[in-house]
DNA sequence: TATAATAACTAATACCATTAGTTTTTGCAA
DNA sequence: TTGCAAAAACTAATGGTATTAGTTATTATA
């Protein structure tokens, strides 16, 4: 009376996400996962290619959700409004799913096709959100990197307790985004002046 | 002919840093470290409180070095120049010591007294570097958080290969810093206009 | 010179991932 | 309906990890 307990990939991922978010990504082991699912750990190999396979699936799963909330955040918006909502959605996701967010950045293989596809789609989304700033091709990509750096940096430090000071985190974040946007406008202004002078 | 091989804390830390930078922080195990030092792993317990003790020491060691290079970068400078050099030093350190940099952010106990002391000193240093922007008390601390977010985010993503696009990383970084600084100036201008209007 | 502290060691335990081989259930084809 | 193959669980075994207990040799000091 043992086989066919009803294990499948979605159930495994959900359990893994719960452990990751509640106890940290390092606590997601085949042993802890098997215990939560009331199964022996070798059984998991029928659904997932070991621990590294599980981590890959987790990374993809997280990237999909992150892309989804970011997409929802920007639809129907443009300019500063779009970027602000995008940023808020990013940070909110990292706060709601600290372990899963962590997983998106520790894919065992960053060259994984699925991971690259999702990364590409995310870049495209952010490029569109930045259209209002009239950055020309390469500049837009640099800006995407910058925005992502700032969003990830803030989220990562917030999670690791890297901000020791007793200061409102939401205010810090809003000011950071405001500063970046003001900088973007200023860069746009300078570029205009530059092209007019030529 | 076994005791007194000549093991001490500095030698242990150096070996740990070498492994971390060359193979990644996860590869720093008591086993790998013992092998590199030509010793049995239980011997390490005479110098370090297990793996978590080693990680704490590594974190402190990394923070000390990071603070040092940042201090060297800002002496005798002010304003944009100081911030730019500070940023370059931060990223250069993360590039030169990826594993050690990683260790600074994964201290087993962020409440550790030594860690907090170094974090505080670092904040003070950056606050001084930002003096030129005339941010009033709280605003200065928010700006420190912002700058740190952006520096850490860029470094972290760069290390994890999170930037898929074939685009010059140094250019991205320079533009990010320029945008942030332009934003800082703009915020200062707005604050001035605000206070004049009252 | 004797003794106590120190720093190495060996041995043993517990937990983890992984593989091999086994058993039971399910689904499908005859 | 029956039989068989694939799938999904299992047990057992291996090797790697941290850690603790207890031992031995060296060093420093009284």
For residues B120 and B123, give the distance between their C-alpha atoms in angstroms, rounded to a whole number.
Answer: 5
Task: Answer whether A77 touches B (CB < 8 Å).
Answer: no
What local confidence, expressed as pLDDT, does residue B198 receive? 65
Cβ partners under 8 Å of residue B87, min gap 6? B147, B151, B173, B177
pLDDT of residue A110: 78
Q: What is the ipTM of this complex?
A: 0.94
pLDDT of residue A109: 85
Low pLDDT (below 70) residues in chain B: 1-3, 197-198
Which residue is it, tokens 């996860």? B26
Vertex A62, ends A56 and A64: CA angle to 5°?
105
Task: Identify whether the C-beta of residue A60 lies closer than 8 Å to the C-beta of residue A115.
Answer: yes
A153–B contact, CB cutoff 8 A: yes
Among B26, B145, B152, the residue to mutate for chain A (most A Cβ within 10 A): B145
B172, A106: Cβ pair inside 8 Å? no
Chain A residues with CB-CB distance to B120 below 8 A: 164
CA A182 to chain centre: 24
Residue nearest to nucleotide D10 (CA to C1'): A2
B194 lies within 8 A of chain A by CB: no
A32 CA → C15 C1’, Å = 11
pLDDT of residue A99: 98
Is A139:A62 a contact under the CB 8 Å cutoff?
A: no
Residues of chain A where predicted confidence (pLDDT) is lower than 50: 1
A106 touches B at CB < 8 Å: yes
Buried b (16+ CB within 10 A) or exposed e, A65-76: bbbebbeebbee
Is the distance from CB of A52 to CB of A42 less than 8 angstroms?
A: no
Looking at residue B3, its pLDDT comes to: 64
Do A142 and B175 touch, CB atoms closer than 8 A? yes
- Chain A's closest residue to B150, CA to CA, is A150
Q: Tokens 């990394």 belong to which residue?
A: B62
Biggest alpha carbon–alpha carbon distance for chain B: 81
Output the pTM of the full model. Answer: 0.95
DSSP symbols for B6-70:
---HHHHHHHHHHHHHHH-GGG--HHHHHHHHTS-GGGGGGTSSHHHHHHHHHHHHHHHHHHHHH
Q: How far is B1 from chain A (nearest CA, A)?
A: 40
B127 touches chain A (CB under 8 A): no
Report the pLDDT value the prediction gives residue B1, as an integer from 0 to 100: 47
Q: At what angle do helices A9-23 and A30-37 cross, to 10 degrees?
A: 110
Q: Which nucleotides of C are covered by protein (CB under 7 A)?
A: 6-11, 15-21, 23-26
To test the contact with chain B by mutation, choose from A84, A179, A181, A190 the residue with the greatest count of B C-beta atoms within 10 A, namely A179
Residues A131-154: b if buried by 16+ CB within 10 A, e if exposed: ebbebeeebbbbbbbbbbbbbbbb
**Quick check: A86 and A128 in contact, CB under 8 A?**
no
Q: Is B91:B173 a contact under the CB 8 Å cutoff?
A: yes
Task: Measure, in angstroms, how far nucleotide C29 C1' is from residue A4 CA.
Answer: 22
Burial class (CB in 10 A: 0-12, 13-18, 19+), B182: buried
- Name residue, tokens 């370090």: B48
Asked if residue A183 lies in contact with residue B182, where contact means CB atoms within 8 angstroms, the answer is yes
């Amino acid at each position: 009376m043992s086989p066919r307990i009803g294990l499948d990939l979605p159930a495994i991922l959900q359990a893994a996400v719960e452990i990751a978010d509640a106890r940290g990504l390092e606590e997601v082991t085949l042993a802890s996962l098997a215990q939560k699912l009331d199964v022996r750990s070798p059984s998991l190999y029928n659904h997932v290619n070991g621990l590294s396979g599980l981590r890959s699936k987790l990374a993809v799963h997280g990237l999909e959700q992150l892309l989804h909330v970011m997409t929802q955040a920007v639809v129907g918006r443009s300019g500063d409004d779009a970027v602000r909502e995008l940023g808020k959605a990013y940070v909110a996701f990292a706060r709601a799913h600290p372990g899963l967010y962590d997983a998106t950045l520790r894919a065992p293989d960053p060259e994984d096709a699925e991971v690259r596809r999702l990364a590409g789609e995310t870049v495209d989304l952010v490029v569109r959100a930045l259209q209002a700033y009239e950055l020309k091709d390469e500049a837009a990509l640099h800006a995407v990197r910058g925005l992502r750096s700032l969003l990830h940096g803030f989220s990562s430090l917030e999670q690791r307790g890297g901000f020791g000071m007793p200061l409102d985190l939401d205010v810090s974040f809003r000011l950071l985004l405001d500063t970046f946007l003001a900088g973007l406008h200023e860069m746009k202004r300078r570029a205009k002046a530059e092209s007019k002078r030529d």
